[in-house]
Structure 1
Amino acid sequence: MMLIFSPIGHSTAEELQDSEPLVSSKIIHTYSRAVQNALDRVSNIDSYDESQLLRTESWLVITGVPIEYHQRTIASPDSSKPSSSLWGAFIWSFNNPKLALPRLIESLEFGQIESFSPLVKQKFSPRLIPNDPYFWDQWHLQNLGQSSGTIGEDANITDVWDNYNGSGVTISIIDDGVDHAHSDLASNYVSSLSYDWCGSDTDPSPSVNDEHGTAVAGVAAAVGQNNIDVIGAAFGASFAAHRLISCGFSDSTGASTLSFQNSQIDIYSNSWGPDDDGVSLDPIGPLTIAAFENDVYNGRDGLGNIITWAAGNGLGSDDNSNYDGYANSRFTIAVTAVSHTGIQSPYAEPGANILVAAHSSGSGEGITTTDNTGSSGYNNSGNITHNFGGTSSATPLASGVIALMIEANRNLTWRDVQNILVLSSKKNDGNDSSWSENGAGHLVSHKYGFGTVDAGAAVSLAENWTSSGQEANASFGPFSSSTSIPNGGSGWTEFEITVPVDLQLESIDVTVDISHTARGDLDIVLESPSGHQSWLAEERNDNNNDYSNWTFGTVQHWGEASSGNWTLMVRDSVSDSNSGTFNSWEISFHGVGNVSDSDGDGWADYNDYDDDNDGWSDEVEESCDSDPLDNNSTPSDHDSDGVCDYVDDDDDGDGLTDINETVMHKTDPLDNDTDDDGLSDFQEVVTYSTNPLIPDSDGDGLGDYN
């Protein structure tokens, strides 16, 4: 007879006879889901080293068999002790560890125990506490209120350092040079990946009073745990230095810098840009755009380089990050700044293109980081400065956090990094009116993007991130308009488009061509089907002319659906003598979704002139009766004149139409010399009046050609 025993604490079975088998009642289902999941994890024997199991003396066992009968189970432990923290759990010990595992397996199979797992001794390390002497001044890394700021308003990075420090990741610091011999930078510097574009040599050391790049490098990757000065956000990462902005440079030089050794560089960190004066509208050149594309699609062995960019410091001049062609590119991560209280720094530009914020100077408190040694830095004596800041400091902080993410998951793509930042950044300044919920449920702000960079949350997401999905792009336009923009008033001039495809959006590019004698008078807004708005341009004191095919970027609609009615709105609310005309616009959506892309080039078929990438346009293939979605189905073109045989009235290109060849002359319309005598069918019929079907028309023994 088989008896089932109740767990301890419940009614017990009658006393067993020695011959009666033991069966446990079920217990695990009464535990919390957290405990159940933990038991599932630790009881996976395949996850342990075999030699480790053979040495294990103590095991965690879950059973409903009363403790006094444990030695009668097949496993027959030498001792059994109940756990004080989990009812139904026991610690079974075996004097001969090698016998434990097979016996426990058999007890489990016979239903005497419900779960077993080895009690393996684990080694733990104390929390990393940096020994760098100025770490406690670096409130942006750990804000304990030491600068009278808000406790916790920091990058939430110190716990991440217990497992990651950026090791194996390389950050390119593109700036005015770096004092790479600095004692707190030297061991992380990689000379082979560095260059001086102003001096055309391999030493990017700064000139006198060019201290910016050294400070930037320290925020991102100053050496940590070395008892020297400060610690970088990714203190184990390597960095390259590029001296670029100390001199004027061309589109070609900028492109070369921004794609330099992109198979070995992971992150390009850029704390520079056009003048933050509110009146500059600076696009990037075609070579730099091509460099960006090469970076994200080919860099890092196809995973894509990550390009961070300072959003700009021109808030006092009513500047907007969307007026900067570098920062508003979808290939870059625009980073704005917040102070030690978590509010917008007084210089930090807003923009629909801003992805995240990071902590930097403001409210009277700066950033402590490396400085040029000696008297050529911000601090006339010493190797550190306490007064660095701006979005110039926020950007390398974000770059450092991204380095930790990449170390945690080497397979992250450039889009993965952006998606993780969107999902992991924390909402700061919660009562600010700039926060709104977009159509995908994301809280987003023109001031702060998706919030402040949170290293702990970002790395946690990165560790188990799989994929952002296949990128898909859809473009509409350009749409010509030539619509006059009313001068003054609050009314909008609106342009609508119905988007038929369903993408889950990441970013959007809107290109406008507007003639206007004072472009600063204009507000330009994009509204999605959900009603969420991207303010692309706002009224400001800019009396320069025109938005001439200017591309605005927005990430405000991240996660929204592309399908539905979109509205571009423009108004000139300033009543003055300035006037303008809305000439044309186009819009491009970027994300993932249910759109076909037969040739895998990232552009949806309906937006791709050659869907199968076979060199024949879809329009031509359709007219030539070949399949525009199959690159093995191409139009035939016997005479290689670019006109397919299906519509070509002279397939062999001999000068005789196909119908004349087949009906009148009986020659082959696909062979320009039917009788192979060296004269084309046209020459025989029109020029020499010989027979195009007979090589020797007069039978004299000499071919017609001879």
Structure 2
Amino acid sequence: MRPVPTVQWLRLALVLALALVGLLSTGWAFARTPIYVSSWAVRVSQGYQDAERLARKFGFVNLGQIFPDGQYFHLKHRGVVQQSLTPHWGHRLRLQKDPKVQWFEQQKLQRRVKRSLVRPKDPWFSKQWYMNNQVRPNLNILPVWSQGLTGQGVVVSVLDDGIEKDHPDLWANYDPLASYDFNDYDPDPQPRYTANDENRHGTRCAGEVAAVANNGFCGTGVAYNARIGGVRMLDGTITDIIEAQSLSLMPQHIDIYSASWGPEDDGRTVDGPGILTREAFRRGVTTGRGGLGTLFVWASGNGGLHYDNCNCDGYTNSIHTLSVGSTTKQGRVPWYSEACASTLTTTFSSGVVTEPQIVTTDLHHRCTEKHTGTSASAPLAAGMIALALEANPLLTWRDMQHLVVRASRPAQLQAEDWRTNGVRRRVSHHYGYGLLDAGLLVKLARTWQPTQPQLKCILHILHRPITILPQTEVPKNVSACAGHANAIRSLEHVQVRLSLTYSRRGDLEISLVSPMGTRSTLVAIRDAVPLHAAVIWDG
């Protein structure tokens, strides 16, 4: 993302296209009925004292602060049913009337799925084709190791279903300070074992990052001397509180959070982080790592079979996350891959079942060569970013986004949508800026000059057509806040918050066209589900 000259015209194109696919079903996942649980997030003016007072007065149990500053607290009521289709109006009214309560929210179940593909478990460095020079180009990791960079001093935490901390390939790098179990609220992230090993996902992702080298077991992690932690948060009730606490764990200790999960990749769901999780992202990038900003690495999603679009995932399309896509060994778009404008970079994973997959650690002290999906791509990127952080620990979260863009190459990646943007960078909705090159990433990191402080210029556009035509364009002449303290001289991110009403959500395609003609598809044609109510797009 090289800074580009100030935009002078933005054109927002709303293209209504007739969907050529049949109706997926009646109803729509975007309007899934919420399920309320017996937990409340409360912000109070006097901190712990007020939280304790509320707990005694209304019968709550104070489970402690959500963030370290002592303003947000987690309250639970044992007299309220664990799950309900309706909120508890009595407690709502009581909290509303209390003058010391600044904000509260009864928590709802969040539907989050691990972005892994279910494959038979079969089974080390010789099998790690994506970084042992069996393919060209590859992730170019060997030259970085030869420079003595192995992730030393960098801490990575995998937010998932736990990690097997006593695994022979993980225990030496395991970091208890970067670990916690938010499903059971204890310090041990050991996964819950089941008959079908459904909680293997986090252990597999952790091994990609920091499996120990030269110990005669499994393969080698990309950053094999990095400290690795695990947060168990996907194996139980998932709420906004749990997501926010997971993303806020030890932000001055953990450098990189790797996440390979999100809303359902079913081609219909439009979902994203709640109020507390958005606040966790904001706090992470502004105060994490001593103010340099936490690095959130995110898998882009596995909904390709359902024509899903990761722009409709509020985690991957956040400017605070570094979204990672997948390519096969042959440089093709995998069948599960999702295309979206928010993807910045790509690493390897698998294609069809007969193609090579990713080698990593597995449950029960075993190894596997069957890890796949974008779940396998994001941890590879997290490991490579750890190598860059070892080379230059002073990189900010925005610095790293700039570096990842510059260190990603189109290489042999095959797609029909490759375009050259206004600063002559090749970019694709499938791959972002291309295959991430660890050698180039580290080289750039060593000499990178810090970016200037981030500025925000907000533009309001009001357009009320009587009817939305098959192609409706909304042009806007903008000055980028010239003459004001927040004037933009170069552009990193564009965020569009769009509200519109239309009868068939799935027939909408929304694009943003830059002054130099680069088209970014913000929402692609997805489902053809007829709506029984107006849809408000806000993304």
Question: What TM-score comes out, normalization by structure 1 length?
Answer: 0.55
* Counterpart in the other structure of 2:371: 388
Residue 432 of structure 2, aligned match among 433, 449, 453: 449
- For the 8 Å contact 2:155–2:178, the answer to whether it is kept is no
Residue 494 of structure 2, aligned match among 498, 501, 508: 508
**Structural mapping, 1:647-658, within 5 Å:** none
* Counterpart in the other structure of 2:33: none
* Counterpart in the other structure of 1:530: 516
1:397 CA drift (Å)? 0.2
The answer to whether 1:463 aligns with 2:442 is no
- Name the aligned partner's letter for residue 127 of structure 2: D
1:430 CA drift (Å)? 5.2
Deviation sequence 1:133-190 (CA, Å, 0-9, x none): 910101122241xxxxxx2142110110122000000001000111111000001111
- Name the aligned partner's letter for residue 305 of structure 1: T
* Counterpart in the other structure of 1:495: 474
* Counterpart in the other structure of 2:178: 193
* Counterpart in the other structure of 1:134: 124
Question: Percent of aligned positions with the same letter in both sequences?
Answer: 38
* Counterpart in the other structure of 1:70: none
The answer to whether 1:290 aligns with 2:290 is no
Structure 1 regions of 5+ residues with no counterpart? 1-132, 145-150, 375-382, 552-706
- For the 8 Å contact 1:153–1:341, the answer to whether it is kept is no
* Counterpart in the other structure of 2:109: none
Deviates more, 1:275-284 or 1:428-437: 428-437
1:544 CA drift (Å)? 5.8
Q: 1:544 to 1:472 in 2, by over 3 A?
A: farther
Instruction: Describe the SS at the equivalent of 2:172.
Output: helix
Residue 301 of structure 2, aligned match among 298, 312, 315: 312
4+ residue stretches of structure 1 with deviation over 6 A? none
- For the 8 Å contact 2:265–2:306, the answer to whether it is kept is yes
- For the 8 Å contact 2:415–2:428, the answer to whether it is kept is no
CA distance in 2, matches of 1:296, 1:167: 22
* Counterpart in the other structure of 1:182: 167
CA distance in 2, matches of 1:431, 1:182: 37
Residue 458 of structure 2, aligned match among 445, 468, 475: 475
* Counterpart in the other structure of 1:113: none
**Structural mapping, 1:72-221, within 5 Å:** 134-144=124-134, 151-162=135-146, 163-208=148-193, 209=197, 210-221=199-210
1:355 CA drift (Å)? 0.4
* Counterpart in the other structure of 1:690: none
Residue 218 of structure 2, aligned match among 220, 229, 248: 229
Q: Tell which has more relative contact order, 1 or 2 (C-alpha 8 A, sep 6+).
A: 2
- Name the aligned partner's letter for residue 514 of structure 1: L
Q: 1:547 to 1:445 in 2, by over 3 A?
A: farther
Deviation sequence 1:505-553 (CA, Å, 0-9, x none): 11111111122232111111111111110011122224164542421xx
- Name the aligned partner's letter for residue 233 of structure 1: V
CA distance in 2, matches of 1:340, 1:159: 20
Instruction: Describe the SS at the equivalent of 1:215.
Output: helix
CA distance in 2, matches of 1:159, 1:186: 26
Q: 1:465 to 1:481 in 2, by over 3 A?
A: same
1:484 CA drift (Å)? 2.4
- For the 8 Å contact 1:177–1:204, the answer to whether it is kept is yes
Deviation sequence 1:328-374 (CA, Å, 0-9, x none): 00000110100111221221111001000111122422111100016
- For the 8 Å contact 2:266–2:308, the answer to whether it is kept is yes
* Counterpart in the other structure of 1:420: 403
CA distance in 2, matches of 1:365, 1:267: 27
Instruction: Describe the SS at the equivalent of 1:418.
Output: helix
Instruction: Describe the SS at the equivalent of 2:536.
Output: strand
The answer to whether 1:369 aligns with 2:353 is no
- For the 8 Å contact 1:283–1:550, the answer to whether it is kept is no
- Name the aligned partner's letter for residue 158 of structure 1: L
CA distance in 1, matches of 2:209, 2:515: 40
- Name the aligned partner's letter for residue 373 of structure 2: G
Q: 1:483 to 1:531 in 2, by over 3 A?
A: farther
CA distance in 1, matches of 2:139, 2:185: 37
CA distance in 1, matches of 2:278, 2:124: 40
Instruction: Describe the SS at the equivalent of 2:490.
Output: strand
- Name the aligned partner's letter for residue 274 of structure 2: G
* Counterpart in the other structure of 1:660: none
* Counterpart in the other structure of 1:331: 320
Instruction: Describe the SS at the equivalent of 2:384.
Output: helix
Deviation sequence 1:287-323 (CA, Å, 0-9, x none): 1111101101110001001101110011110001101
1:424 CA drift (Å)? 1.2
CA distance in 1, matches of 2:291, 2:373: 32
CA distance in 1, matches of 2:322, 2:528: 26
The answer to whether 1:251 aligns with 2:243 is no
The answer to whether 1:550 aligns with 2:538 is yes
Instruction: Describe the SS at the equivalent of 2:216.
Output: coil
Structure 2 regions of 5+ residues with no counterpart? 1-122, 481-487
Deviates more, 1:179-188 or 1:499-508: 499-508
Computed over aligned residues only, the root mean square deviation of the Cα atoms, in angstroms, reads: 1.6
Q: 1:483 to 1:512 in 2, by over 3 A?
A: farther
CA distance in 1, matches of 2:302, 2:466: 34
Instruction: Describe the SS at the equivalent of 2:332.
Output: coil
CA distance in 2, matches of 1:297, 1:282: 24
Q: 1:249 to 1:255 in 2, by over 3 A?
A: same
* Counterpart in the other structure of 1:128: none
CA distance in 2, matches of 1:195, 1:542: 41
Larger radius of gyration: 1
* Counterpart in the other structure of 1:678: none
* Counterpart in the other structure of 2:38: none
The answer to whether 1:346 aligns with 2:332 is no
- For the 8 Å contact 2:326–2:348, the answer to whether it is kept is yes
- For the 8 Å contact 2:292–2:396, the answer to whether it is kept is yes
- For the 8 Å contact 1:438–1:532, the answer to whether it is kept is yes
Aligned pair count? 401
Deviation sequence 1:78-126 (CA, Å, 0-9, x none): xxxxxxxxxxxxxxxxxxxxxxxxxxxxxxxxxxxxxxxxxxxxxxxxx
CA distance in 1, matches of 2:177, 2:316: 28
- Name the aligned partner's letter for residue 154 of structure 1: N
The answer to whether 1:518 aligns with 2:501 is no
- For the 8 Å contact 2:221–2:383, the answer to whether it is kept is yes
1:434 CA drift (Å)? 1.2
- For the 8 Å contact 1:153–1:342, the answer to whether it is kept is no
- Name the aligned partner's letter for residue 140 of structure 2: N
Q: 1:431 to 1:362 in 2, by over 3 A?
A: closer
Instruction: Describe the SS at the equivalent of 1:290.
Output: helix
CA distance in 2, matches of 1:549, 1:503: 29
Instruction: Describe the SS at the equivalent of 1:548.
Output: coil
Question: What TM-score comes out, normalization by structure 2 length?
Answer: 0.72
1:461 CA drift (Å)? 0.4
